[in-house]
Amino acid sequence: MLLYVLRRILATIPVMGVVALFVFLLLHLSPGDPAAVIAGDYATPADIARIRAQLGLDRPLYIQFFSWLGRVLTGDLGTSIFSDLPVSYLIGQRLEPTIALSVLTMLITVVVAVPLGVVAAWKAGTWLDRSIMILAVCGFSIPVFVLAYGMVFVFSMELQWLPVQGYKPINEGLIPFLRSLTLPSIALSAFLIALVTRITRASLLEILDEDYIRTARAKGITERKVLMLHALRNAAVPIVTILGIGVAFLLGGVVVTESVFNIPGVGRLVVDAILKRDYPIIQGLILAFSGVYILINLLIDLTYTFLDPRIRL
């Protein structure tokens, strides 16, 4: 077990190295001179030279990379060109809304999608199964921003049940906090619910044909225990895998969702940094998102060992 964990942790090191190299080269692979782009159309050569010196672009490429990598390893992601604040500080300011939105989205996904997938597999071929699959297709087909604007129109403007936009921290009260995140989390979870539902159904259908499931039923075990204790546990590995893959969608989805609902999270920071071409922030955010995704996948790999002990071998 310990050896497996160490192998998985060591395997993430070269991955993060490749990601760091890509993030660094992002500044240099961009069309044109980044300093000239940042300086604007009316900048003088002196302004461009000053920005190049500020970014360290006047030094050899390999020196720039190792200097930047050394700062990153100490937690220094650079300084914003426009606000002159540390990138790590700016990201830290925006973390709470994004984490709250992501956690609530994943919670809704698991609570809704897994039971729907179990029911669809249990009633395979019936009208209930077909109805759930139709809903899943709709979840795949409707873009996040279309669903978000549709829910804002219905539940905020017409029914006036929920706020149109904005974010309320949890220290201002649990009810305002949940009201501000209800529509964004539902809009963001629609695609994930559809995906996890279909994977859960497919995994369970394969497991339900196994001999040990027929043996359990022959012993008189109730259908509920057969589904939950025997079938679902053995079908958990692909379900957990797809939840990990869903993190990649989640990281991209928060950018759109936070923009639609005006949530001051990391997604909004991404949009603002791109519009201003604030390269240090863009680099820091890509590196942070990549690190989170790699960490989540590492945790999922470790979860496999508890779901299926044969993976440890």
Verify that 102 and 38 share a domain, yes or no: no
Q: Is there a contact between 109 and 189 (Cβ–Cβ < 8 Å)?
A: yes
Verify that 177 and 134 share a domain, yes or no: yes
CA 19-291-113 angle, 5° bins: 120
Verify that 110 and 249 share a domain, yes or no: yes
The residue type of 277 is R
pLDDT tens digit at each of 313 positions of the chain: 667 667 777 777 788 888 888 877 776 666 666 677 666 667 777 777 787 777 777 777 778 788 878 888 887 787 787 777 888 888 888 888 888 888 899 899 989 988 898 888 888 888 888 998 888 888 888 888 888 888 888 888 888 888 888 888 888 888 888 888 888 898 888 888 988 898 888 888 877 777 777 777 777 777 777 777 667 777 777 788 788 777 777 777 788 888 888 888 888 888 888 777 777 888 888 888 888 888 887 787 777 777 665 555 5
Across 249-262, b (16+ Cβ under 10 Å) vs e yields ebbebbbbbbbbbe
pLDDT score of 307: 64
Verify that 152 and 273 share a domain, yes or no: yes
pLDDT score of 267: 82
What DSSP assignment string belongs to 100-152? HHHHHHHHHHHHHHHHHHHHHHHTTTSHHHHHHHHHHHHHHHS-HHHHHHHHI
Name the phi and psi angles at 98, rounded to 5: -70, -45
184, HSE (Cβ side, Cα atoms, 13 Å) = 34
C-alpha 186, offset from chain centre: 15
Verify that 54 and 170 share a domain, yes or no: no
Q: Is there a contact between 51 and 38 (Cβ–Cβ < 8 Å)?
A: yes
Query: Where residue 251 sits, what CATH number does that domain have?
Result: 1.10.3720.10
Verify that 44 and 103 share a domain, yes or no: no
Cα–Cα distance measured from residue 100 to residue 202, given in angstroms and rounded to the nearest whole number: 30
pTM value is 0.79
195, HSE (Cβ side, Cα atoms, 13 Å) = 20
The helix/strand/coil state of 78 is coil
Asked whether residue 79 is assigned to any structural domain, the reply reads no
pLDDT score of 208: 74
pLDDT score of 28: 67
Verify that 15 and 101 share a domain, yes or no: no
Verify that 173 and 246 share a domain, yes or no: yes
Q: How many CB atoms lie within 10 A of CB 236?
A: 19
pLDDT score of 37: 66
DSSP state of 153: I
Verify that 181 and 277 share a domain, yes or no: yes
Boundary (domain end) residue, out of 73, 105, 125? 73
Asked whether residue 24 is assigned to any structural domain, the reply reads yes
Cα–Cα distance measured from residue 253 to residue 241, given in angstroms and rounded to the nearest whole number: 19
Cα–Cα distance measured from residue 13 to residue 20, given in angstroms and rounded to the nearest whole number: 11
Q: Which domain holds residue 233?
A: 94-312
